[in-house]
Amino acid sequence: MVKTPRVLERIFVHEVFHFVWSRLPKKLRESYGGLITQEFQREVKGELGWSAESMKLDLALEDMADGSRRWKDYLCESFCDTAGWMYGSASRYTEMTLDRGSRDLRREWVAEHLEGRALSV
């Protein structure tokens, strides 16, 4: 059961960004995948929402190496949870388990690749 408007807001943003993800040029999806691959190489734990974290916990290194469907689905959820964190109004929430340095790198990626860009949904 959703308890606060901020949770609803984060869920709404997350869902809208599924449309954004599906319309991103392949080059941008691959760039985001590169950022997340670096997190895996650094053995970063945590995520910015349970949907991505639950998928992350079930990934095998082969999924990333092979670009499996599970890997692609995880990237999408990670991207959408990142958007929910960035564009929602809650500064902290229990599902936010990603370390600050990794959050900063994601914020920089979004600023560089998405902000100021016309996104069709």
Would you say how long the chain is, in residues?
121
Per residue in 53-111, pLDDT (tens digit) is 999 999 998 999 999 999 999 999 999 999 999 998 877 888 999 999 999 999 999 99
What pLDDT does residue 6 have? 83
Helix, strand, coil % over all residues of the chain, rounded to 5 = 70, 0, 30
pLDDT over 60 (residue 7):
yes
Lowest-confidence segment of 18-22, 37-41, 91-95 by average pLDDT: 91-95
Angle between helices 69-87 and 26-41 (to 10 degrees): 90
